Structure 1
Amino acid sequence: MENNNVPTAHRTSRTQRRIARRTTAAAAVLVLAALGVAPAAAQQPAGAPAAAHSATAHGRGALLGITPVADLDRADVARFLASGGMDTGTVRHGLRAYRLTYRTVTPQGAPTTATGLLALPKGGPHRLDLVSDTHGTMAHRDYAPSVGEDFGRFAPYLHASAGRAVAAPDYLGLGKGPGRHPYMDTKSAVTASVDMLRASRTAARRLNRPLTGEVYAGGFSQGGQVAMALGRALDKGVDRNFRLRALAPVSGPYDIENAETPALFDGRVNDTSAVFYMSYYLTAQSRLHPLYKDTSEAFRKPYADIVDDLFDTHHTEEEIISSLPATLKELLTDDYYRRLQHLTGGLLEAARAQDGNCAWKPDVPVRLYSSSGDTDVPIANARNCAADLAARGVEAPVVDQGSADHNTTYMKSGPQIVRWFDTVAARH
């Protein structure tokens, strides 16, 4: 029986692995043998041109490796999506998927590498529009889209099977990228996402499926926030090779200061998720902002001695949750518990560094997907985002999926987003 003491954002990963083991032999091809990352020139598809040298060959977004990870026909994709309870009516093609390794930068601007998933449809137009899909909270690096056949694959497979290329970054420190994941650091998530777009452009050209430059941005949970920030960066012209066409994030924590954090204390976020998210957030943000000098300032014993190591990207969500208490009150010191209810200092600085990504005027259509039943990221986040956009003259409807929980919100929203992207594309 499934352990329900795991946040809904993570239960599907384990459930999906069980489902995958029960599917037919055809579904077993969902993930090919994972290959080690090697230089791109050594991993070119048969007949592909050698890597071209350019002014950006050693800069951000430079492609270092292409590793095939999946080759599915249309029926395989439909089975995979249906295993998660998703509508398969938009599945038109099979797909091939690849792990890309590319150059990017750390939160401090130092050179590093990251990985991500590029999914390409079998069929459809030769030149492909691109969906940027940014994933939700993951603590174990192997849950990332380019590595794990888990929740992180649903959106890429959904959009690719509908006929668009998909660039799904793993973010820093997840997948095969080095170091720790700077959880909820929106700035570095955006740089990793932009550089994934650049690497995808190079890879798609080498794979003989060049990109049009049109980008449809979407993401779920943590990735919903990233999608809004990425859309803003594209709108400002962060890379002239890409043009934003539409924004459709799902259940993003767009307002940590005024929506997400208060909901941790008033019952709108369930206790298990509150403990998991806040532990992850505090330990990651403490490396970027002055939250505390020692974990014992924020966490009670014995958790102060173990909490940082739990989020080393090598522990599963189940392992982490079983090692932590049931409530925030038991996790945090009395002083820190009070401070989180009235953000000041480093805590306020960290929250505001992530907030504000709806405070701009997109020149493209925007839809915000959420649900009243979500007890991980309450719908107040989407409503506050819509209000920020409305204050700038942008109407962004909040599509409420009703009583759906966090993951189900995406499973219901995803096919609706595909059909909406189709409508937007048809206007040109």
Structure 2
Amino acid sequence: MKSVHSTGSSRAAFRRLSAVTTLASLVLAVNTVTTGAASASAAAPSDRGQLVSAQQVSTLATKQDVAAALDAAGFDASTVRFGVDAYRLVYRTVDPQGRPTTASGLLVLPRSREHELRTVSFTHGTASYRSDAPSSMVKVGFASAPAMTYASAGFAAVAPDYLGLGVGPGLHPWMDVPSETTASMDMLRAARAFVPHTGRALGHDVLVTGFSQGASAAMALARTLQAGGDRWFRLEAVAPISGAYDFQNAELPALLDGSLDAKSSVLYTAYLLVAWNRLHQLYDSPGEVFQAPYADTIEALFDGSHTGQQLFAGTPNTLSALLTPHGFDMLSHPTGQLAAALRVADDTCAWSPRVPVRLYAASADEQAASANTDHCEAALQAHGVNAPVVNLGTPDFAGSRHLGSNVAATAAIVRWFSSLR
């Protein structure tokens, strides 16, 4: 989840954020590595994680260069120890139906002398425009700054774009935990395959974190790693940030009752209905759930080619102007396919991590209801795990406490992960 702050100040904040995060497609094309069978078509599911191509997209040669870039992006640069090299990886994975496809992601490596690197997986917050994904950032921006932070502290940082973002084909299945998990796991495998080209190797340990949409994705990836989802990698710690871990009982009620920022609520609700209708057939016609004139245009806005500014301009400022009575009722009382999909999305905290876990959240988050973190903490406790909640206070980024929590938590988590050595 990555949107805007309240409506009056929201437009200015949104324009400022877009200037930071909405960048052109990659223009650097150096040191491109392409595998022997690197066609754009994907192979069988058994080839999941196979590297298709790797393109070096940027170099910040010194720690001073990294510090300046992070500072310009609004992130804490005090843990920077090394320069970094950043690569866009394209790799084979599967779509929500288990069919072969490809996806992309960002790999950032420290310019250190260490041969075997510990890995941090960072799963990003909501993006609808494919060029807002981590691997499409020409310079350090909101989506790529966490990976730059971890790499400059000495880790190998892996940031999947998810399906349908970056240069991955098709449409993005927003908040689809199973495909977020497969895309994240396969990005780790692709990174492991590529890193030897740089003269280094990835070790076994993976420290997992993610923001907003990426928080539940991080929890699901961590669960899969602990369960032995890959023979090489093993889970070392988990640190999700400001997640919507309980969409049915925490996030949806807050979106619908006006507890959260109005414009953000419109964008998230629209994205949920459009993306999940593609996966789960929630409605036959947009007019069933969306009011005119938005019923005619809303689905096209979430095709990956429309910028955040276009999304903002093409949607109303309130849910009452967006949803039909049936749309409200569907979300207020989920049944059928919607209820089944919510059960899958809301299951990411219902397990027993055998590694350290910390949950990070801001006070009075205007986009992710605080009850989400409370419910995640309670679910972990019910499975015998005490996961401390780290209250980040009220951090601000572009007028948003939600976005600010990503900045503040990244600064805290890189220190925590480093201390686990």
TM-score w.r.t. the length of structure 1 is: 0.89
CA distance in 2, matches of 1:326, 1:78: 38
Q: Is the 8 A contact 2:21 2:132 kept in 1?
A: no
* Farther off after superposition, 161-170 or 343-352: 343-352
Q: Is the 8 A contact 1:12 1:407 kept in 2?
A: no
Q: Answer yes or no: is 1:128 the counterpart of 2:117.
A: yes
Shift of residue 5, structure 1, vs aligned partner: 3.6
What is the aligned partner in structure 2 of residue 110 from structure 1? 99
Task: Provide Cα deviations, 1:130-189, integer angstroms capped at 9, x if missing partner.
Answer: 001100000100011111243111110000000000111111000001010011111001
Shift of residue 83, structure 1, vs aligned partner: 2.0
CA distance in 2, matches of 1:60, 1:281: 27
For residues 381-396 of structure 1, the aligned pairs below 5 Å read 381-396=372-387
For residues 76-95 of structure 1, the aligned pairs below 5 Å read 76-95=65-84
Residue 67 of structure 1: SS of its match in structure 2? Answer: strand
Shift of residue 207, structure 1, vs aligned partner: 1.6
Q: Is the 8 A contact 2:134 2:159 kept in 1?
A: yes
What is the aligned partner in structure 1 of residue 208 from structure 2? 217
What is the aligned partner in structure 2 of residue 249 from structure 1? 240
For residues 100-249 of structure 1, the aligned pairs below 5 Å read 100-148=89-137, 149=139, 150-249=141-240
Task: Provide Cα deviations, 1:358-395, integer angstroms capped at 9, x if missing partner.
Answer: 00000000001011121111221111101100111111
Shift of residue 290, structure 1, vs aligned partner: 3.0
What is the aligned partner in structure 1 of residue 411 from structure 2? 415
Q: Answer yes or no: is 1:71 the counterpart of 2:62.
A: no
CA distance in 2, matches of 1:219, 1:7: 26
Q: Is the 8 A contact 1:173 1:181 kept in 2?
A: yes
Structure 1 vs Structure 2 CA RMSD: 2.5
Residue 134 of structure 2: SS of its match in structure 1? Answer: coil
* Farther off after superposition, 137-146 or 334-343: 334-343
CA distance in 2, matches of 1:5, 1:218: 27
Q: Is the 8 A contact 2:93 2:100 kept in 1?
A: yes
Matched residue type, 1:39: T
Matched residue type, 1:63: L
Shift of residue 267, structure 1, vs aligned partner: 2.8
CA distance in 1, matches of 2:239, 2:155: 15
Q: Is the 8 A contact 1:145 1:170 kept in 2?
A: yes
For residues 367-378 of structure 1, the aligned pairs below 5 Å read 367-378=358-369
CA distance in 2, matches of 1:316, 1:246: 35
For residues 399-414 of structure 1, the aligned pairs below 5 Å read 399-404=390-395, 405-414=401-410
Residue 113 of structure 1: SS of its match in structure 2? Answer: strand
What is the aligned partner in structure 2 of residue 341 from structure 1? 332
Shift of residue 11, structure 1, vs aligned partner: 5.8
CA distance in 1, matches of 2:274, 2:330: 16
- Structure 1 residues 300 and 56: alpha-carbon distance in aligned structure 2, compared to 1, 3 A threshold: closer
What is the aligned partner in structure 1 of residue 253 from structure 2? 262
Matched residue type, 1:66: A
Shift of residue 340, structure 1, vs aligned partner: 1.3
- Structure 1 residues 275 and 6: alpha-carbon distance in aligned structure 2, compared to 1, 3 A threshold: farther
- Structure 1 residues 11 and 245: alpha-carbon distance in aligned structure 2, compared to 1, 3 A threshold: farther
- Structure 1 residues 163 and 284: alpha-carbon distance in aligned structure 2, compared to 1, 3 A threshold: same
* Farther off after superposition, 399-408 or 305-314: 399-408
CA distance in 2, matches of 1:252, 1:13: 20
Residue 420 of structure 2: SS of its match in structure 1? Answer: helix
CA distance in 1, matches of 2:113, 2:15: 34
Shift of residue 56, structure 1, vs aligned partner: 9.4
For residues 245-324 of structure 1, the aligned pairs below 5 Å read 245-324=236-315
Q: Choose which of 34, 44, 48 in structure 2 pairs with 1:39.
A: 34
Q: Is the 8 A contact 2:45 2:100 kept in 1?
A: no
Shift of residue 410, structure 1, vs aligned partner: 1.1
- Structure 1 residues 280 and 57: alpha-carbon distance in aligned structure 2, compared to 1, 3 A threshold: closer
Shift of residue 87, structure 1, vs aligned partner: 2.1
Shift of residue 35, structure 1, vs aligned partner: 6.7
What is the aligned partner in structure 1 of residue 341 from structure 2? 350
Shift of residue 234, structure 1, vs aligned partner: 0.4
Q: Is the 8 A contact 2:380 2:386 kept in 1?
A: yes
CA distance in 1, matches of 2:363, 2:295: 34
Q: Is the 8 A contact 2:21 2:142 kept in 1?
A: no
- Structure 1 residues 101 and 275: alpha-carbon distance in aligned structure 2, compared to 1, 3 A threshold: same
Matched residue type, 2:243: G
What is the aligned partner in structure 2 of residue 47 from structure 1? none
TM-score w.r.t. the length of structure 2 is: 0.90
Q: Is the 8 A contact 1:84 1:411 kept in 2?
A: no
Matched residue type, 1:412: A
Shift of residue 32, structure 1, vs aligned partner: 6.0
Matched residue type, 2:49: G
Q: Answer yes or no: is 1:98 the counterpart of 2:93.
A: no
Shift of residue 211, structure 1, vs aligned partner: 0.6
